[in-house]
Amino acid sequence: MTILVFGQTGQVARELQAQADVLALGRDQADLSDPALCAEAIRRSKPDVVINAAAYTVVDRAEQEEALATVVNGESPGAMARACADLGIPFLHVSTDYVFDGSGSEPWRESDPVAPQNAYGRSKLAGEEAVRAAGGAHAILRTSWVFSAHGANFVKTMLRLSETHDALNVVNDQIGGPTPADAIAAALLEMAAQMQAGKAGGTYHFSGHPAVSWADFAREIFSQAWRDVSVTGIPSSEYPTPAARPLNSRLDCAKIRSDFGITPPDWTAGLARVLRQLECSE
């Protein structure tokens, strides 16, 4: 099975390349600010499956660059999905919990109404809608709080701050599921194999469990990394950002377990793997 992946250096793209023999396209080969170029890359490669693991992910900057974010996260995935539909091949696309408004405390289901509260979320919702409208076999995988040994993420930020701080204030009223990038990659590859064999797709949720606050996530990072840093939980109102963050990022992952036999990962075990990787790279 030939798998074409959009993305080379992102967290999920790196893990896809580590776990499978894929053709991964970087920005120099397929710039997501050019939807037509992305579609042409698919037609030229003629793969069996396409996975889009690339995106505009700078959430706060998107408030000023919403038009660009919408092209990258909305129009280009739509162009990819249409090319895949024309070729009769499955298209898998990574999305986000930010398509929801973050209200309540119950885990979000795939059928719940969407209402993104920031530009990044709106751009990702545009991508979801464009992928569905293409009419081909597709799977949209919504995830949250991605972390790995690569790129920029919360785990690496906390470890960096621990080098110069013995106490930190961390938001404690945003609740979600930290998700290891290697688990997302494994889920995408399993879904790709089943869909290439004829399994139907749809929209799915996949995030780590159990749900925690950012503050509790930070405490677990410091505990596992043996860093003596105290964490004080603070409300989001004391840590304002240009883009509003959802307070409730919990995702109900029952559907992906039922349809594909994929179980959401224990993020604490994923964190241990990432910390080992970071130790080995030092």
Q: Which residues contact 42 (CB under 8 A, 6 or more apart)?
A: 4, 50, 80, 83, 84, 87
Q: In what order do the strands lie in the sheet with 175-176?
A: 212-213, 175-176, 248-249
Which parts of 210-250 fold into alpha helices (H)? 214-224
d(CA 147, CA 270): 9
The active-site residue, picked from 56, 120, 204, 239, is 120
* Residue 98 bears catalytic tag: no
194 token code pair: 């089943």
d(CA 40, CA 30): 9
Q: Tokens 């408030």 correspond to what residue?
A: 63
d(CA 234, CA 242): 18
DSSP bridge pairs for 171? 234
Neighbours of 194 (CB within 10 A): 18
d(CA 143, CA 38): 23
CA-based max dimension of the chain: 56
Contact 82, 137 (CB under 8 A): no
d(CA 178, CA 15): 16
- Angle 188-1-28 from CA coordinates, rounded to 5°: 70
**Among all residues, which ones are annotated catalytic?**
120
